[in-house]
Chains A and B, each alone.
Chain A
Amino acid sequence: MSTDMSSASETDTLTSDAKRLSIRKMNKHYGDFHAVKDLDIEVEPGEFLVLLGPSGCGKSTALRMIAGLEEITSGEVIMGERDVTHVLPKYRDIAMVFQSYALYPHKTVAENIGFPLKVTGVPLEQRNQAVLDAAAQVQMETLLERYPRELSGGQRQRVALARAIIRRPSAFLMDEPLSNLDAKLRGFMRAELKHMQHELGVTTIYVTHDQIEAMTLAHRVAIMKDGELQQLGTPAEVYTNPTNLFVAGFMGSPPMNFIEGTLSQGSIQVGNDKIFLQGAQEGTAVTMGFRPEDADVVEAGEGRFDAMVYTAEMTGDLTLVTVKHGQSILTIKMPKDFVVDYDQKVGIQFDSGLSYLFSTSDGSRLKAIVVDS
């Protein structure tokens, strides 16, 4: 924190030390529809937790329940020492940033930022100083008299952030705050957001469907599907050690490559080639996966199996080679100067230690490993 902050906001900063946020066995039913199933997450004080999942997986509902905008069917939400499960949103000491920014169109930037203090009865002078401080933190101090409609998307986003930080809440909730921005600005705001969260040290829950956002921002990522928590861990953990097929396929861009087969005589048949496995039961339907960066395109016959080149794309820093094998399309990252032809027969090689095996039937990770023979 800079030292020239006013005394008012300084005391505010001091009183709001980061709080632990516990979500225990949280459920949401809409009639017969079970939107969130037994969600159990402990968010550490000052942690940046990302709720990640495809649309409709219940992540936004979960966030809205934590905010108090949606009733909790069963379970508990604990903020610090306080049970806030049935507490009105205004008493939860939470600030939320919405996907739409939810700026008040009839209020100026300054009025928007100062609104949380106005409704809680902070005197005008103190409020004005706090508005200036918050605006300075998001570099909006020159645009205070503008209306939201006169601002660009990125500027609106900043105003929404300033309005969230002005009160020094115990927790930030963010519902896809960057998804309305264009790609370049999104990358920039992402870095800014991460820096700001680090500086303020406020416990944050961030909802997104974008796995790159999740990887880059989070201390820990919680991946959800159909209302159920699939895996909770650091970005590195969920990337290198996915617990199931869904997580493996969701993380990474381009996503993990999958080959399906049925285990017979210790191997699965891939075209004319066999891939040997150890530790799995005969007759199980398995899905083998490997990441695009963990494989290599080699001469035909020299890899673990052969495939036909479908296309090759130069992305600047590397070449993405897409090969077709039976029904499956596989993508392999190769150096940028790598050249192949369409319909060329190539071999695919990958390190047995960097492959993953899942049960095709329920998607669970198998203890089995790929062996060389």
Chain B
Amino acid sequence: MADNKEILAGLAEIVDEVAGIDAAEVSADKSFVDDLDIDSLSMVEIAVQAEDKFGVKIPDDQLAELKTVGDAVDYIAKNQ
């Protein structure tokens, strides 16, 4: 089981791979859309990679609720 810090670091790696955003930019308070400029197609890619990495399921209705990086970290921590 990964702790929140490890989840954040893992997510930052995925965001860099998919969207080319430096890991230092990917902090808990950042909005995927408004701050990191990630589009809906890239969000699907990030979600699929996060599912594989952390062994969670992220249904589409949940994905829509994950507005910030912190939302995603919390969801993964609770559901892994």
Answer whether A and B are interacting partners.
no
Which B residues form the contact surface with A (CB < 8 A)? none
